[in-house]
Structure 1
Amino acid sequence: MDMVNSIGNPLASRKVCVIGAGMAGLAAERELRREGHAVTVLEQGGDVGGQWLYDPRTDESDPLDAAAPVRVHSSMYASLRLLGPREVMGFSDFQFVPPRKSGGGGTAPGRDRRRFPGHREVYLYLKDFCRSAGLADAVRFNTRVVRVAMAPPRRGGSGNALKWVVRSMDAGLWKQYTDDQMTEARCVEEVFDAVVVATGHYSQPRLPSIQGMGDWRRRQLHSHSYRVPDPFRDEVVVLVGCGDSGMDIALDLRAVAREVHLSAKSVEAAMTPAMSKMLARHANLRLHPQIERLCEDGRVVFADGTGVVADTVMYCTGYCYSFPFLDTEGRVTVDDNRVGPLFEHTFPPSLAPWLSFVGIPRKVMVPWFFEAQGRWIAGVLSGRWALPTEEDMMRSVEEYYRARKLAGVPKEYTHDVEPHKMYELGEKYCDFPRTEDWKRELMAIISRNTSDDMETFRDRDDDSDNVRKCLQKWYGLAEHQAQDEDPAASSSAAQATVHSSL
């Protein structure tokens, strides 16, 4: 029997292109296919995983050319571990537990069973998910998208059909061509009813403007190009930025570098309990105000007049949203790291639902939030759910912008989603199951512990009684998924039990 919407109309099947096969892209692909859409996923890498597919190589071009498209997508460094526990990092019906050895007897070889595993375990989990859900057959690997544009006639808008021309080419060939040569390269053009952009936002470095950057002849790089600490042995390293990556890399470097100097916009704001403990434990870690200038003789001068002669300056200053392939004729822009206008960080009102984005928000619970976005997009495209009018969506976006401005939130933090907003999206728009209360409580505990001590929070055992009780149940049920897992088969019944029983 054909599927129908709430008023009895048959659901439509669309030809949809998903750009990216990372966590967000895989979440979107599964929801779209569940809804009956014909999906093609274009992935520039040789495997699924996106950022989680660790690449020891770094960009060979100018590390400070922020305008140039990156050639190496992943920003993972070798020692990176999750900031969140695995219990909240899994898909809603496929828990993040490592498979068992064949026949039982412990975790499968090569798997990381820690509560806060390293990046490779996330990559392997995404491969497990892809295999279990049967997603790989729709993914075209080693394929670089070079242009996405509206096909004529360009109508768009809510209710008006709009098609997209997607031009792609072999990713290996793409690296050999300049922009001028691209049009003459061997590109493939395809037409789709809808495009879902799921390319992530941790690849294109965001750099500050500091006096003397262009003349400083010693090593400068963005943390995007950091992999291992050994190249910095016995060096004096200045890290610009005291966010999670800056503090984590400082801890990675402190064992090999002579000195590690952290530079913050505000020393007062940076001096959290976690920072205080780091500085007290490690004599070669120092905290400074922001950099005033870089001098040709190697000196780094800080805003308080102090300085240090450094071998390396590393910018741990975050990333930019970048969609160099996307031509919307100005309907979607990136301004001071605000992608907009986007209704609920997902749909551009004048192009909805034929263009959408999964994975724009930051500080959200993943992949749960990506699943909710994917289900919403899939249902709107099929006709299961309707979007507000273009005018109402624009009004909502403008109200959101005004509220953020009144709250004193800089434009660059537009996509930092407040927890209650994150949790309500799925329930509000697409009947997606709410995140269990104990997971919300667990995330609050972890957030508090991270702020208290960056070095020990992963090893603390201070879950509440309620969380402990739910965790026992979670692990017991998840065990069905992990035991004797056949890599070629899905354990969907056990996975569904895990979610529905909590």
Structure 2
Amino acid sequence: MATDTIKKVCVVGAGMSGLAAARELRHEGLAVTVMEQRSDVGGQWLYDPRTDADDPLGAAVPVKVHGSMYASVRLISARECMGFSDFQFVPRPGAAGRDARRFPGRREVYCYLKDFCAAFGLADAVRLDTRILHVAVAPPGEEARGGEVRWMVRSVHVEPDGSEDGVAAEEVFDAVVVANGHYSQPRLPKIQGMEEWSRRQLHSHSYRVPDPYHDEVVVIVGCGDSGLDIALDLSGVAKEVHLSAKSVEAATATPAVSRMLANHAGMRLHPQIDRLCEDGQVVFADGSCVAADTVIYCTGYRYSFPFLDTAGAVAVDAGGGRVGPLYEHTFPPALAPSLSFVGVPMRVFAPWFFEAQARWVALVLAGKAALPPEAEMMRAVEEYYRARELAGVPAHLAHAIPVVDRSEIWEFVYRHSDLPRMEDWKVELFMSSLLNSKDDRETFRDRDDDNESIREGLQRWRLGAGAQYEATLAAAACSSSGNHVHDDAEALARAPRPPLPAPCQVSTMN
């Protein structure tokens, strides 16, 4: 598609990646409509206490309840590593209800995304309570000038309970950016007896608070972030908590799980489940068993785009872990640049990486950056797949860019965007937090053992980034106080990026 014909863009989703895309697209002068099925922006960080009682495993596609966040969630990365390049995630202790901790809870992230939306005048671009039903190449007669494809988007208004209200509407867009996230559709294991087991089973997608599991025997399948956090959440409420890991050796390779077991008398570690018995017994691979009241599957999520119809040009593999083919995790070669994805990669510095991805998409759609020919993009995708397979990376981790081998992340950001470089002290802080989480899962978020380099970086960051944050919000408030909110919002999003304040020279942090 000739990029000079792209003027009107639909963004699917108003979470972290969708808002990043909206800001970058508007910055390039494109008309943006963000469609969000929930009643507010924030994506998964918008907490929803409801669950689907009829489908606690989240087996339906799509799920009825989009939110997967549990009440006790706190960040596992420090807030200093979790901000947009020009709108850092600074504490706002003076604002009511805010969480100033370095590893804040879920509501603080939601408030930050709300602030970002306000600061860059994006609210008027977001169409809330709008579910996208179908996205496909527009029919003949709807082509852009020169015959390039456009996209027909069919959507419907939804009520807070998820029920559809009214007649579906159809609109034609020059391009579509898919940014609906990947933490809604559960990935479930296949275990003998799951379908017949008469007691409670749910995916972590349906877990919110520990109270319903009072005095129960709970088996948690999976020792990843959510599995360990939910185990700790339940430890003071449930009678017993049994963790089931694919590999006991791998689970205890670092001290975190061993410390949890030592600190909580009712917590046990087992190998993977062999079968579930109708009488409530859970039998593990080593032959041990436990009579359980509830099994919670903390087994991750699948990529899911049930609304997207590309006639096979883009597909999710059978395991739900690979979307493809996607050039650089972003553009499907056969449909680029009019179709793109922002937010597919995992284990990256979010939202910084998604900001770079969105920036690249915006530059391409605005005609300021070019993509390779389709055949060259396909070759690059195939080579990437082969390299991952040779490295022994399973298909469901196809988009898990390894943070510990951070060169791939940096190379992407610096190759496709003009974002400032990630400061060394932030990388140190991220790696320090990661190592601490593997040492003591219960206390790592509240430890204060930064080295001098991190302390100096934090001091500069708090002084400079904090002033920038408040100034950007103040400017946005002034811009939207007049009678032309829409015009002001677009001008704000298209304004030059505010410069980063000069670092304050200090030698230590008090």
Q: Report the TM-score when normalising by structure 1.
A: 0.91
Partner residue, 2:211? 230
Identity of aligned residues (%): 64
CA contact (8 A) 2:61 2:306 kept: no
Cα distance in 1 for residues equivalent to 2:58 and 2:103: 34
Does residue 252 in structure 1 map to residue 252 in structure 2?
Answer: no
Equivalent AA in structure 2 for residue 355 of structure 1: L
Instruction: Tell me how far apart the structure 2 counterparts of residues 293 and 131 of structure 1 sit (CA, whole Å).
Output: 51
Matching of residue 359 in structure 1 with residue 343 in structure 2: yes
Report the AA paired with residue 97 of structure 1: V
**Per-residue CA shift, 1:302-328, capped at 9, x if unaligned?**
000000000000000000000000000
**Following TM superposition, by how much is the alpha carbon of 1:494 offset from its aligned partner in structure 2, in angstroms?**
13
Deviation at 1:155, TM superposition (A): 12
- Offset, 1:381: 0.8
Q: Is 1:49 aligned to 2:51, yes or no?
A: no
Task: Give the equivalent residue in structure 2 for 1:83.
Answer: 76
Identify the residue that residue 281 of structure 1 maps to in structure 2: 263
In structure 1, stretches of 5+ residues that fail to align are 1-8, 100-105
**1:430 positional shift:** 2.7
Structure 1 CA distance, aligned partners of 2:477 and 2:19? 18
CA contact 1:196–1:358 (8 Å) conserved in 2? yes
For residues 141 and 198 of structure 1, what CA distance do their matches in structure 2 show?
15
Query: C-alpha root-mean-square deviation of aligned residues, in Å?
Result: 2.4
| Residue 357 (structure 2) pairs with residue 397 (structure 1) | no
**Partner deviation per Cα, 1:99-122 (whole Å, 9 max, x = no partner):** 3xxxxxx52221100010000000
Q: Equivalents in 1 of 2:25, 2:44: separation in Å?
A: 22
Determine if the alignment matches structure 1 residue 372 to structure 2 residue 356.
Answer: yes
Is 1:136 the counterpart of 2:128? The answer is no
1:216 to 165, 179, 197: 197
Which stretch shifts more, 130-139 or 484-493?
484-493
How many residue pairs get matched? Answer: 480
Aligned to 2:392: 408
The 1:73/1:389 distance shift into structure 2, 3 A limit, reads same
Are residues 1:25 and 2:18 paired? yes
Query: 1:488 is matched by which residue type in structure 2?
Result: A
Change in CA separation of 1:65 and 1:365 when aligned onto 2, cut-off 3 Å: closer
1:305 and 2:287 matched: yes
Are 1:199 and 2:192 counterparts? no
Relative to structure 1, the CA distance from residue 452 to residue 65 in structure 2 (aligned partners, 3 Å threshold; closer, same or farther) is: closer
Unpaired runs of 5+ in structure 2?
Answer: 480-491, 505-510
Aligned to 2:334: 350
1:152 matched to 2:139: yes
Shift of 1:445: 1.1
In the alignment, is the contact (CA less than 8 A) between 1:481 and 1:495 conserved in 2? no
* Cα drift, residue 60 of structure 1: 2.8
1:423 aligns with 2:416: no
Deviation at 1:97, TM superposition (A): 1.7
TM-score by length of 2: 0.90
Structure 1 residue 173: deviation in Å? 9.0
Q: Secondary structure at the match of 1:261?
A: strand
SS of corresponding position for 2:332: coil
Q: Decide whether the 8 Å contact of 2:129 with 2:160 is kept in 1.
A: no
User: For 2:167, what is the secondary structure of its paired residue?
Assistant: coil
Letter in 1 for 2:265: A
State the 1:12 CA deviation.
5.9
In 1: Cα distance, 2:437 partner to 2:429 partner: 12
> 1:119 is matched with which residue: 101, 106, 110?
106
Per-residue deviation at 1:238? 0.2
Question: 1: CA distance between counterparts of 2:55 and 2:111?
Answer: 32
Distance in structure 2 (CA, Å) of the matches to 1:35 and 1:495: 12
CA distance in 2, matches of 1:311, 1:13: 55
Q: Specify the alignment match of 1:4 in structure 2.
A: none
Relative to structure 1, the CA distance from residue 165 to residue 127 in structure 2 (aligned partners, 3 Å threshold; closer, same or farther) is same
* Partner deviation per Cα, 1:77-100 (whole Å, 9 max, x = no partner): 11100001111111111111243x
- CA-CA distance at 1:262 after TM superposition: 0.4
Contact 1:94 1:495 in 2 (8 A): no
1:488 aligned onto 2:477: yes
Which stretch of the first structure deviates more once superposed, 234-243 or 475-484? 475-484
Partner of 2:304 in structure 1? 322
Q: Contact (CA 8 Å) 1:90, 1:96: kept in 2 or not?
A: yes
Return the offset for 1:453.
Answer: 1.2
Q: Distance in 1 between matches of 2:300 and 2:23?
A: 29
Question: How do residues 66-81 of structure 1 correspond to structure 2 at under 5 angstroms?
Answer: 66-81=59-74
**Distance apart, 1:70 and its partner CA:** 1.1
* Offset, 1:154: 11
Paired residue type of 2:311: E
Deviations 1:202-240 (A, max 9, x none): 000110010000111110000000000000000000000
Moved more, 311-320 or 87-96: 87-96
Which stretch of structure 1 is more off in the superposition, 472-481 or 378-387? 472-481
Report the alpha carbon displacement of residue 200 of structure 1 after superposing the two structures with TM. 0.3
2:434 and 2:58 map into 1 onto residues whose CA distance is 34
Asked if structure 1 preserves the Cα contact closer than 8 Å seen for 2:6 and 2:174, the reply is no
CA shift, 1:501, in A, is 4.4
